């Protein structure tokens, strides 16, 4: 399935159109489940498709608002996974299809914990600050790449998953809500403005992980999220020592149980 680019050279003014193929394939909300690796005890990473029309609005500041931008969704980790800059998580069906081939198993809509599964729009190539109209009223703005965490690692079965995901550098992205509105499966997506810089979701993800020499280019983005601007790499990389400790403990326990293949060695982690 081919990705569809923006038609025409215009960037910050006027309306940028996309082909009729750019649309929401699925709207996904959480089915809460136990998560013993986090103090909060639960996670909303298990997203399930809904046929309903779902209201999307700014959830409020991290730790103070409703957590997710989608009515009916749940985000339990108020430290890492809430706030207006992370109101909506998006992943492309085309990229899920790649991982289906790599993993040798089907991946349903919402399999990566995304709220919207899209088609026909290059999520990795979206610019930070790019604005999308989804359906009739909803307007979203791309804020930052999705950053993989320990819950995502376990959800996908461990075994070096974070390293594979980080190496591929197709992260999906978060968006903030500029204008509230309803969304449902089948809604069209159009890009209505793009900033003049060239910092894409993919470039930002690589700058924050494997290619830190790219970090200087992030300065071209006005209104960087606090995750990127305040700590740049440290806010993302700080999770890795804890992940290594967790995996080391699990690996030790697994070895005692005769199963030494729980996860990749710490050296193989991002």
Sign of CA dihedral 46, 60, 192, 225: negative
Q: Residue 18: which of 125, 143, 122 has the closest Cα? A: 122
What is the domain extent for residue 225? 23-268
Q: Total domain count for the chain?
A: 1
13 domain-assigned: no
When mean pLDDT is compared over 68-82, 156-170, 184-198, the highest value belongs to: 184-198
30 domain-assigned: yes
pLDDT at 107 over 90: yes
95 domain-assigned: yes
Residue 58, pLDDT score: 94
pTM of the model: 0.80
Give pLDDT tens digits for 202-238. Answer: 999 999 999 989 999 999 999 899 888 765 545 455 5
End-to-end CA distance of the chain: 30
Only one residue has tokens 């209505």, namely: 192
Q: Which residue has the higher pLDDT, 215 or 12?
A: 215
4 domain-assigned: no
Six token digits for residue 98: 């790649």
111 domain-assigned: yes
What is the average pLDDT across 125-133? 98
Pairing of strands 42-43, 33-34: antiparallel
8 domain-assigned: no
Q: CA separation (Å) from 202 to 47, 146, 193, 233, 267?
A: 23, 10, 19, 15, 24
Sign of CA dihedral 153, 145, 90, 225: positive
138 domain-assigned: yes
Residue 238, pLDDT score: 54
Give pLDDT tens digits for 58-84. Answer: 999 877 767 899 999 888 676 666 789
CATH number at residue 74: 2.40.33.20
Q: Residue 187: which of 237, 143, 134 has the closest Cα? A: 134
194 domain-assigned: yes
What's the burial of 256, exposed, middle or buried (CB within 10 Å: 0-12/13-18/19+)?
exposed
């Amino acid at each position: 399935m081919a990705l569809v680019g923006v038609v025409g050279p215009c960037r910050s003014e006027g309306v940028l159109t996309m082909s009729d193929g750019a649309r929401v394939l699925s709207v996904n909300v959480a089915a809460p489940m136990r998560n013993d690796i986090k103090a909060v005890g639960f996670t909303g990473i298990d997203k399930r498709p809904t046929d309903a029309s779902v209201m999307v609005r700014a959830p409020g500041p991290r730790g103070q608002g409703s957590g997710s931008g989608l009515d009916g969704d749940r985000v339990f980790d108020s430290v890492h996974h809430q706030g207006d800059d992370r109101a909506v998580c998006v992943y492309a069906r085309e990229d899920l299809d790649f991982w289906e081939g790599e993993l040798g198993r089907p991946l349903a809509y919402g399999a990566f914990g995304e709220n919207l599964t899209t088609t026909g729009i290059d999520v990795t190539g979206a610019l930070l600050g790019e604005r999308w109209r989804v359906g009739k009223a909803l307007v979203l703005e791309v804020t930052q790449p999705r950053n993989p965490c320990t819950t995502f690692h376990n959800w996908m079965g461990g075994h070096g998953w974070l390293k594979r995901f980080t190496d591929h550098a197709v992260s999906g992205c978060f968006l903030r809500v500029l204008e509230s509105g309803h969304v449902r499966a089948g809604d069209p997506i159009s890009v209505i403005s793009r900033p003049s810089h060239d910092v894409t979701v993919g470039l930002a993800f690589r700058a924050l992980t494997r290619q830190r020499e790219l970090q200087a280019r992030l300065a071209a983005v006005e209104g960087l999220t606090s995750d990127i601007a305040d700590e740049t790499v440290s806010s993302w990389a700080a999770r890795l020592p804890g992940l290594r400790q967790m995996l080391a403990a699990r690996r030790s326990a697994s070895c005692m149980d005769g199963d030494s293949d729980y996860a990749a060695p710490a050296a193989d982690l991002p």
